[in-house]
Chain A
Amino acid sequence: MALIKHGNLVEDLFTAVGDGDELPSKGAVLVSLECWQDNRAALLERADAVGVRLHSDQSPELIEDDLKHISLVALEFPAFRDGRAYSYARMLRERFGFKGEVRAVGDVLMEQLHFMLRTGFDAFEFESDDPVRQFETAMADFSVWYQPSSDGKQTATQLRHFPRR
């Protein structure tokens, strides 16, 4: 599995901790919502970064008040057809002003990277022989957008009437 962040192939600095597993003594960890809720105090005391992984039926509203303590929110696509996480990503960015990493995990396909980037994801975990090339190909697909979204790209309407330089 490759991790692309801000367009680059990067090493995953977070250790995924399964439910019921012992938390490692140090280093960044990625935990489930349940684990976060059960071990909140212990996790808050850690010096290293904490990430929370949300299933597609777990809205970021559930961690709204804790977002300032969280460096990474991983949003799961259990199947590529399940599009809830697009709304969750926008919620994190636009409604909660979350500045940390929003990572797409699960059934992430090249063909969807473009929509993910537009809705506020900045990291993508997906299966690929050549992830950087696939990412770049997907990003080059479009240069015109009709809708305002989390990426702040100028829409066709904005370009028509009041283009920003």
Chain B
Amino acid sequence: MYRYDEFDQKLIAERVKQFDRQVTRRLAGELTEDQFKPLRLMNGLYLQLHAYMLRVNVPYGTLGSKQMRRFAEIARKYDRGYGHFTTRQNIQYNWVKLEDTPQILKDLAEVEVTAIQSSGNCVRNITSDQYAGSAKDELADPRMYCELLRQYSVLHPEFSYLPRKFKIAVTGSPNDRAAVAVHDIGLRMHLNEAGALGFEVLVGGGLGRLPYIGHTIRDWIEPEHILSYVEAILRVYNMHGRRDNIHKARIKIIVAQMGIDKYRELVEAEWERIKDGPLQVPDEEIERIENYFAPPQYDALEDETELLLAQSADNAGFDRWQKSNTVEHKVSGYRIVNLTLKAIGLPPGDMDADTMDAVADLADRYSFGEIRVSHRQNLSFVDVRQRDLLELWKALDELKLARPVLDAVSDMICCPGLDYCALANARSIPIADDINRRFVDIDELADIGELKINISGCMNACGHHHVGHIGILGVDKRGEEFFQLTLGGSSDQNASLGDRLGPGLPQADVPDAIAAIIDRYKSLREQGERFLDTYRRVGIEPFKDAVYGDKDRKAVA
């Protein structure tokens, strides 16, 4: 993991002190709420329906056990004993007090964690593949570039008042687990024809009211130029992005209006002017940061194929978990383990303080003290010895973190919705709960296979509904909550936006509709087809028929 040096540490301390003054000025009435708002947002502090919410960064989803323990302490001391892991690999506290926030930020800074720019019209937390550094299918480890970008974006003097928020995601694997195509900038590491490692740069992707898949602005760029290229994109956006309408202010809109070719022309012209300047990353700095991401001290081990087979034969629960929740590792004898935060009865992504502490202990014991957060609101231990899997499974099972549902129906992404959020139109957590209770049978879930359901409580799409295999969007119709379904979305390397199935449904009808869609899929699927594959082959009509039947499809809502 990256560790702060004296410069990082000092900057964070200075930032906390500055925020302390800003809060004091606000409490003394020297700053109006209007003036204070962008300042608190750039320190992660939102005013929600019932209380202030603090969003804390987990840079590119990488977390140390010590930091997790601090999250637990903060949950106990300043909140109601729990936190919520988000689709941006962050953690949110829902019940903090304004006057406590400077102290919370101090407590976090002690363990090298910040809330800087977790909100506001600026560059947000850099996100990445939760398996970075350990994935078997990885071409290169993206973390060092994420860290470069983190530092580059923190307190950027020119880009702290952009037209709108700005999200950057990086993947080092051809199998995109970071959803780079639906980010303002997506960076995809790959080799050019000469075999040199660089980045494909995508721009203008995003969800929200007007979803777009990103366009490739440049096929390949050398790693040492990545900051200058990002700066050129940001500068063009800062000067040309729309500021007349908040709903049209994201970069995706200006790219769509201008056309990607024109946008590229402006970026390339700007980049030519700055590429050989001080943003070029010196080799010494690449080496310095890379050292922090050197592989841990793996034991020289063989794959434990036979042991695992024997353990699985003895224990059906372990067998299912291992097949569902663990993933191939690049080093023999190791495995990546996913902790599913999708227990029945709990909002997806929520975790209480005691569980956080227990997870930190398990990370120390089994995975070099490191924890990852995924954009699907799960956690991962990415370096677990195969011989430890059975023991770890037992421990996770006791913590209710071993439901073998990774990427299955129960593994939903779900925003906080109207239970917490000031923007929401509908409650998304109860929908997730209804679906969860409808599909409790683990064998049935395994039979259905990979099916990603994403739920958002409003058009702002924090629950990524556009890119769910099944997307669910809460809308308000004359004071009543309705839910619109979309099918066929995906945020991976073959990203697509879902197609709208039909009129919105009342909450009570959603589980039946999901069940009908799944039944239709089961009757249509061919050997080895996931839901998404079947959908792409047969199209939307059979599913419309399954949900709405003969009913007049326009009459419902």
Contact = CB atoms under 8 A, between A and B. Distances in A.
B20 to A, nearest CB: 11
A161 B238 CA distance: 31
A81 B38 CA distance: 8
Query: Which of A119, A142, A157 has most B Cβ within 10 Å?
Result: A157
A81 B161 contact: yes
B238 A144 contact: no
A144 B15 CA distance: 10
A118 B157 contact: yes
A87 B235 contact: yes
Contact of A86 (B17, B157, B281): B157
Interface stretch (A6-14, A36-44, A109-117): A109-117
A144 B7 contact: yes
Contacts of A32: none
Query: Which of A119, A141, A143, A147 has most B Cβ within 10 Å?
Result: A147
B235 A160 contact: no
Query: Which of B21, B155, B158, B239 has most A Cβ within 10 Å?
Result: B158
B282 interface: yes
Interface string A72-100: 00000000111110111010000100000
A87 B160 CA distance: 11
A148 B5 contact: no
A89 to B, nearest CB: 8
Contacts of A112: 161
B278 A148 contact: yes
A16 interface: no
B158 A149 contact: yes
A141 B12 CA distance: 11
B477 interface: no
Given A81-B38, A156-B151, A160-B5, A144 B157 contact: no
B278 A83 contact: no
A15 interface: no
A148 B238 contact: no
A163 B243 CA distance: 40
Nearest to A78: B243
A87 B158 contact: yes
A161 B155 CA distance: 21
Interface string A52-83: 00001001000000000000000000001111
B158 A146 contact: no
Query: Which of B121, B152, B239 has most A Cβ within 10 Å?
Result: B239
A115 to B, nearest CB: 4
A160 B7 contact: yes
Contacts of B288: 160-161
Contacts of A17: none
Contacts of B152: 146-147
Task: Please classify how large the interface on chain A is, using the bins under 10, 10 to 19, 20 to 34, 35 or more.
Answer: 35 or more
Interface in B1-41: 5, 7-8, 10-11, 14-15, 17-18, 21-22, 35, 38-39
Interface in B22-81: 22, 35, 38-39
Contacts of A90: 158
A149 B157 contact: yes
Contact of A109 (B35, B284, B285): B35
B37 to A, nearest CB: 9
B238 A84 contact: yes
Contacts of B239: 59, 84, 87-88
A86 B155 contact: no
A156 B8 CA distance: 8
Given A95-B273, A156-B151, A157-B282, A114 B11 contact: no
B278 A142 contact: no
Interface string B224-259: 000000000001001100010000000000000000
Contact of A160 (B159, B278, B279, B285): B285
B549 interface: no
Contacts of B505: none
A111 B39 contact: yes
A84 B159 CA distance: 9
Nearest to A156: B7
B157 A148 contact: no
Given A142-B155, A147-B152, A155-B278, A80 B35 contact: yes
10 contacts: A81-B38, A83-B161, A86-B159, A87-B238, A90-B158, A145-B11, A146-B11, A146-B154, A148-B278, A148-B279
Given A95-B273, A137-B21, A147-B155, 15 more contacts: A81-B38, A83-B160, A84-B243, A142-B155, A144-B11, A144-B14, A147-B152, A147-B156, A147-B158, A148-B279, A149-B157, A149-B158, A157-B151, A157-B281, A157-B282
The 10 tightest CB contacts between A and B, nearest first, are A83-B161, A118-B157, A148-B278, A156-B7, A144-B11, A115-B157, A161-B284, A86-B158, A146-B151, A141-B18
Interface of A: 56, 59, 80-84, 86-88, 90, 95, 109, 111-112, 114-116, 118-119, 137, 141-149, 155-162
